[in-house]
């Protein structure tokens, strides 16, 4: 897939990996980027990166009518990046039902809502959908149990979307980052990859038509271990 001259949607574009993706898409010659965020005012700094090519669009991914509105304003879109996400710490037996709802609303239903809203334009333009998951979608870390479950569900959803959309000529990419240095893991003391490096690796993966993208050294290492012996990774994560 080419980034040059592409017309791109990024959800959760106001900070973190989403903002880094917008910046790198501009650098790679995208012709139009629709930066989506829950609060359009939060996008002023992102739009300032290149006001001629970046357009701020208000869209909460849990709200299908926001996404329908965004889709009607972006019929030229060729790439849609499902990046918005939330993470709550805690084990599945202790987490409140509201915590499950919040993580599933954004990380699962948000991905589904966005895919459904933009599927017609992506079909018309023979484009691609990129779902940002996480390496812990492959095996669960109990302290991130709710988040893991929502992202594992999103991984399954991604595979179904890939099967369905491929019949319409739309490519579907899945991205499995390891720890990234954004607000999401602020205060967690561990090695993390810079968002700009993750954004560059995602773009390289899309350009190389790599369906499953592991965009940092830790995710690549975990994927190799998981591919060799998924039960060993499950047992190791269970102790973390």
Q: Which residues are catalytic?
A: 147, 151
Return the residue of 173, 182, 201, 215 that touches ligand NAP, per CB under 6 A.
182
Distance in Å, CB of 67 to ligand NAP, minimum? 9
Say whether residue 201 binds ligand NAP (CB under 6 A). no
| Residue 130 contacts residue 82 (beta carbons within 8 Å) | yes
Return the residue of 3, 7, 8, 16 that touches ligand NAP, per CB under 6 A.
16
Residues in 83-142 that interact with ligand NAP by CB under 6 A: 83-87, 106, 110, 132, 134
Distance in Å, CB of 196 to ligand NAP, minimum? 12
Q: What beta strand segments (E) does 97-147 contain?
A: 128-132
Say whether residue 185 binds ligand NAP (CB under 6 A). yes
Q: How far is CA 153 from CA 101, 180, 181, in A?
A: 13, 21, 24
Nearest C-alpha neighbor of 176 from the set 142, 218, 146: 218
Distance, CA of 41 to CA of 192 (rounded, Å) = 28
Distance in Å, CB of 46 to ligand NAP, minimum? 10
Distance, CA of 140 to CA of 191 (rounded, Å) = 19
Torsion (CA) 208, 155, 11, 175 in degrees, nearest 10: -30
Say whether residue 1 binds ligand NAP (CB under 6 A). no
Q: Which listed range, 27-35, 37-45, 199-207, 223-231, lies at the site for ligand NAP (CB under 6 A)? A: 37-45
Q: What beta strand segments (E) does 70-111 contain?
A: 79-82
Say whether residue 81 binds ligand NAP (CB under 6 A). no
Q: Which listed range, 31-39, 47-55, 115-123, 138-146, lies at the site for ligand NAP (CB under 6 A)? A: 31-39
Q: Which listed range, 113-121, 159-167, 179-187, 225-233, lies at the site for ligand NAP (CB under 6 A)? A: 179-187
The helix-helix angle for 145-166 and 97-104 (nearest 10°) equals 30
Say whether residue 215 binds ligand NAP (CB under 6 A). no
Interface size with ligand NAP, residues (CB under 6 A) = 30
Element (H, E) at 169: none
Q: How far is CA 40 from CA 186, 214, 224, in A?
A: 23, 30, 40
Q: Which listed range, 35-43, 93-101, 201-209, 224-232, lies at the site for ligand NAP (CB under 6 A)? A: 35-43
Give the pairing type, strands 32-37 and 7-10: parallel
Which two structure tokens, joined as six digits, stand for 239? 């102790």
| Residues near ligand NAP, by CB under 6 A | 11-12, 14-18, 37-39, 42, 60-62, 83-87, 106, 110, 132, 134, 177, 179-180, 182-185
């Amino acid at each position: 897939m080419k980034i040059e001259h592409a017309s791109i949607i990024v959800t959760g574009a106001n900070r973190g990996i989403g903002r880094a993706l917008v910046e790198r898409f501009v650098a790679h010659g995208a012709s139009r980027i629709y930066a989506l965020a829950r609060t359009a005012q939060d996008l002023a700094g992102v739009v300032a990166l290149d006001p001629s090519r970046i357009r701020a669009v208000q869209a909460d991914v849990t709200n299908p009518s926001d996404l329908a509105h965004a889709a009607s304003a972006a019929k030229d879109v060729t790439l849609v990046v499902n990046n918005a996400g939330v993470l709550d710490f805690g084990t599945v037996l202790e987490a409140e039902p509201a915590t499950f709802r919040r993580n599933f609303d954004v990380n699962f239903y948000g991905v589904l809502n966005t895919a459904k809203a933009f599927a017609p334009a992506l079909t018309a333009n023979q484009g691609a959908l990129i779902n940002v998951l996480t390496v812990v979608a492959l095996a669960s870390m109990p302290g991130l149990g709710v988040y893991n479950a929502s992202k594992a569900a999103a991984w399954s959803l991604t595979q179904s979307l890939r099967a369905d959309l491929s019949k319409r000529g739309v490519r579907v990419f899945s991205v499995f980052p390891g720890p990234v240095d954004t607000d999401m893991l602020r205060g967690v003391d561990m090695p993390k990859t810079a968002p700009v490096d993750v954004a560059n690796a995602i773009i390289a993966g899309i350009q190389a038509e790599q369906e499953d993208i592991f965009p940092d050294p830790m995710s690549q290492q975990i994927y190799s271990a998981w591919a060799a012996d998924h039960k060993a990774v499950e047992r190791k994560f269970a102790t973390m």
